[in-house]
Amino acid sequence: MAVLQLNVSDGLQVADFSLLDHITISTQRPLTAAFLFACGNCGAVFVGRETVATILSFVTVTDQAAEEPRPQTVATHDQHHCHDLNDNPRTCGSTAKRYRSWERHRRRDGTHTSGGPPGLVRQQSSPKTPPFFHEILNRIRHTQNHIGVETGDNGLIRVKTLLPFEYRLIQSLTFQLVIRDAKEGFAMQTTVAVTLVIIDVNNFQPRITIPPNYNPSNTSSAWECLETDIRTTFIPLAFLAVEAEDDDSEEFMPLNYFLSYDEAPQLEGYVEINITTGVVSVVRPLDREAPGMAELMMLTIRVMDNANRGYNQQTSAGTRIAFRVIDRNDNPPILHFNNIVLDQGAAFSQQISECHNGTVNIDFYATDADSTPSTPPFYPILTVFPAAYRTHFDTFSDRTGLIRLLILKTFDYRLVQKLNITLTVYDSDPNTPFDPILNTAVTVWLEILDTNNLIPRVSYPINYDPTSPSAELFFITETDSRNASQFTAFPVLTVKAVDDDSDQFMPLDYFLSFELAPCLQGFMEIDRSTGVVSVVKPLDREATGMNETLVVEVFVMDNAKQSFNQLTSRASKIAFRVTDLNDNPPDVRFNGQAIPHLGNVTVDVTEHTCQEVLLDLYASDRDSVPKTPPFFHEILNLDPTYQNHIGVETGDNGLIRVKTLLPFEYRLIQRLTFLLVIRDAKEGFAMRTTIAVTLVINSELPQFTGPPTLTFSVDENWTGPIRHGIITAADADATANLIFSITFDRAFDPDGLQVADFPFPDHITISTQRPSPPAFPYWRGQLMVRRSLDRETVATILAIVTVTDQAAEEPRPQTVTTMVSITVNDLNDNPPDVRFNGQAIPQLGNVTVDVTERTRQEVHLDLYASDRDSVPKTPPFFHEILNLDPIYQNHIAVETGDNGLIRVKTLLPFEYRLIQRLTFQLVIRDAKEGFAMRATVTVTLVIIDVNNFLPRITIRDLASSKTRLMEEPSG
| Residue range 714-727, pLDDT digits in tens | 888 888 888 878 88
Q: Are 798 and 747 in contact (CB under 8 A)?
A: yes
Comparing CA positions, the residue from 560, 419, 418, 446 lying closest to residue 499 is 560
Supply the pLDDT for residue 524.
92
Q: How far is the CA of 886 from the CAs of 383, 858, 921, in angstroms? A: 49, 20, 13
| pLDDT the model gives residue 93 | 42
305-311's contacts with Cβ under 8 Å and 24+ in sequence apart are 305/202, 305/205, 305/206, 305/246, 305/248, 305/252, 305/253, 305/255, 305/256, 306/202, 306/252, 306/253, 307/253, 307/254, 307/255, 307/256, 307/276, 308/254
Residue 241 CB partners (closer than 8 Å, separation 6+): 210, 277, 278, 279, 280
| Fold of the 457-579 domain | Immunoglobulin-like (2.60.40)
What is the Cα–Cα distance from 783 to 791, expressed in whole angstroms?
A: 18
pLDDT band, very low/low/confident/very high, at 128 (cuts 50, 70, 90): low
What string of DSSP letters covers 537-604? S---TTSTTTTS-EEEEEEEES-TTSSSS--BPPPEEEEEEEEP-S-SPPEEEETTEEE-TTEEEEEE
Residue, of 428 and 194, whose pLDDT is higher? 194
Which pLDDT belongs to residue 130?
Answer: 77
Single out the residue of 201, 281, 184 nearest to residue 242, CA to CA: 281
Q: In this predicted structure, what is the pLDDT of residue 554?
A: 93
Question: Residue 147 and residue 63: Cα distance in Å, rounded?
Answer: 73
> At 549, which amino acid appears?
T
Q: What's the pLDDT band for 249 if we cut at 50, 70, 90? A: low
Task: Of 299, 302, 319, give the one whose Cα is nearest residue 212.
Answer: 319
Q: Is the pLDDT of residue 442 over 90?
A: yes
Q: Taking a C-beta distance cutoff of 8 angstroms, is the pair 202, 312 a contact?
A: yes
Mean pLDDT value across the chain = 80
Amino acid letter, 43: G
Q: Which of 504-513, 563-572, 659-668, 910-919 is predicted least confidently?
A: 563-572
What per-residue confidence (pLDDT) applies to 92?
42
Q: What torsion, rounded to 10 degrees, do the Cα atoms 271, 275, 280, 286 define?
A: -20
Containing 153, the helix (H) or strand (E) segment is none
Do 814 and 805 form a contact (C-beta atoms < 8 A)?
yes
Nearest by Cα to 890 from 878, 905, 875, 912: 905
- Cβ atoms of residues 212 and 320 within 8 Å: no
User: Topology of domain 703-825, per CATH?
Assistant: Immunoglobulin-like (2.60.40)
Q: Is 250 in a helix, a strand, or coil?
A: helix
Asked if 730 and 778 count as a contact pair (C-beta separation under 8 A), the reply is yes
Span 567-592, average pLDDT: 86
Residues paired with residue 526 on neighbouring β-strands, in sequence order? 533
For range 23-42, the mean pLDDT: 62
Residues 6+ away with beta carbon under 8 Å from 763 = 785, 786, 787, 788, 789
Q: Identify the three-state secondary structure at position 616.
A: strand
Q: Residues in the chain, how many?
A: 971
CA distance 893 to 135: 68
Distance CA 781, CA 802 (A): 10
Three-state secondary structure readout of 640-660: HHHCCCEEEEECCCCEEEEEE
**Whether pLDDT at 502 is above 50:** yes
Q: Domain 587-696 falls in which CATH fold?
A: Immunoglobulin-like (2.60.40)
pLDDT band of 532, cuts 50, 70, 90: very high
* Mean pLDDT of the region 526-544: 89
Q: Cα separation of 26 and 42, whole Å?
A: 7
With 0-12 CB in 10 A as exposed, 13-18 as middle and 19+ as buried, what is 842?
Answer: exposed
pLDDT at residue 746 greater than cutoff 60: yes
Residue 556, pLDDT > 80, answer yes
The answer for residues whose C-beta is within 8 angstroms of residue 231's C-beta and 6 or more apart is: 330
Residue extent(s) of CATH 2.60.40.60 domains in the chain: 207-326, 334-449, 457-579, 587-696, 703-825, 833-944
More reliable by pLDDT, 396 or 499:
396
Of 505 and 285, the structure prediction assigns the larger pLDDT to 285
Q: Is the pLDDT of residue 7 over 50?
A: no
How many whole angstroms separate alpha carbon 814 and alpha carbon 969? 105
Instruction: Look at residue 734 and tell me whether its pLDDT is greater than 60.
Output: no
- Can you tell me the distance from the alpha carbon of 417 to that of 856, in angstroms, rounded to the nearest whole number? 53
Q: Is the peptide bond before 461 cis (omega within 30 degrees of 0)?
A: yes
Name, in order, each residue with C-beta under 8 angstroms of 801's C-beta and a sequence gap of 6 or more: 710, 727, 740, 741, 742, 766, 781, 817, 818, 819, 820
For residue 374, the model assigns a pLDDT of 67
Mark out the alpha helices in 654-733 (DSSP H runs): none
Mean pLDDT of 15-19: 66
Separation of alpha carbons 192 and 174, rounded Å:
10
Question: Cβ distance 225 to 325 under 8 Å?
Answer: yes
Alpha-carbon 572 to chain mean position = 44
Percent of the chain clearing pLDDT 90 (strictly above): 12
Mean pLDDT for 811-830 is: 82
Residue 678 to residue 691: CA distance in whole angstroms: 8
Residues 674-702: tens digit of each pLDDT: 999 988 887 778 888 899 998 887 666 67
Contact in structure between 384 and 420 (CB atoms under 8 Å): yes
pTM of the entire predicted model = 0.32
d(CA 546, CA 479) in angstroms, rounded, equals 12
- Phi first, then psi: give them for residue 888, nearest 5 degrees: -110, 25
Whether CATH 3.40.50.2000 fits 833-944? no
**Contact indicator for 208, 314 with CB cutoff of 8 Å:** no
Category of 354 on φ-ψ map: left (φ > 0), alpha (ψ -120 to 50) or beta: alpha
Give the range among 24-28, 545-549, 810-814 with minimum mean pLDDT: 810-814
The CA angle 865-871-872, to the nearest 5 degrees, is 70
Q: Is the pLDDT of residue 118 over 60?
A: no
| Side chain identity at residue 141, one-letter code | R
Nearest-CA neighbor of 458 among 531, 544, 363, 550? 531
pLDDT at 709 over 70: no
Spell out where 806-946 has E strands: 814-825, 833-836, 839-841, 845-852, 858-866, 878-882, 892-896, 901-906, 917-925, 934-944
Residue 504 pLDDT more than 60?
no
Q: Residue 81: its pLDDT value, please?
A: 62
CA distance 182 to 203: 44
Tell me if the domain spanning 207-326 has CATH number 3.20.20.70. Answer: no
Q: How far apart are CA 213 and CA 221, in angstroms?
A: 10
Q: Which of 215-219, 231-235, 435-439, 456-460 has the highest mean pLDDT?
A: 456-460
Q: Residue 49 pLDDT > 70, yes or no?
A: no
The phi, psi pair for 483, rounded to 5°, reads: -120, 20
For residue range 614-628, list pLDDT tens digits in order.
Answer: 888 998 888 877 777
- Distance, in Å, from the CA atom of 238 to the CA atom of 282, rounded to the nearest integer, reads 6
* DSSP label at residue 464: P
Strands (E) located in 271-378: 271-273, 279-282, 297-304, 319-326, 334-337, 340-342, 347-353, 361-367
Q: How far apart are CA 802 and CA 103, in angstroms?
A: 113
Q: Residues of 165-199 as b/e, b for ≥16 C-beta within 10 angstroms? A: bebeeeeebebebebbbbeeeebbbbebeeebebe
- Percent of the chain with pLDDT strictly greater than 70: 82
Query: Spelled out in words, what is the top-level CATH class assigned to the domain 334-449?
Result: mainly beta
Q: For the chain, state the CA radius of gyration.
A: 58
> How many Cβ atoms from other residues are within 10 Å of residue 959's Cβ?
6
Residue 81 · residue 53 · CB < 8 Å: yes
Q: Please determine, for residue 285, whether its predicted confidence score (pLDDT) is greater than 50.
A: yes
Q: What is the pLDDT of residues 927-965, one digit of tens each?
A: 877 788 889 999 999 988 888 788 878 777 666 555 555
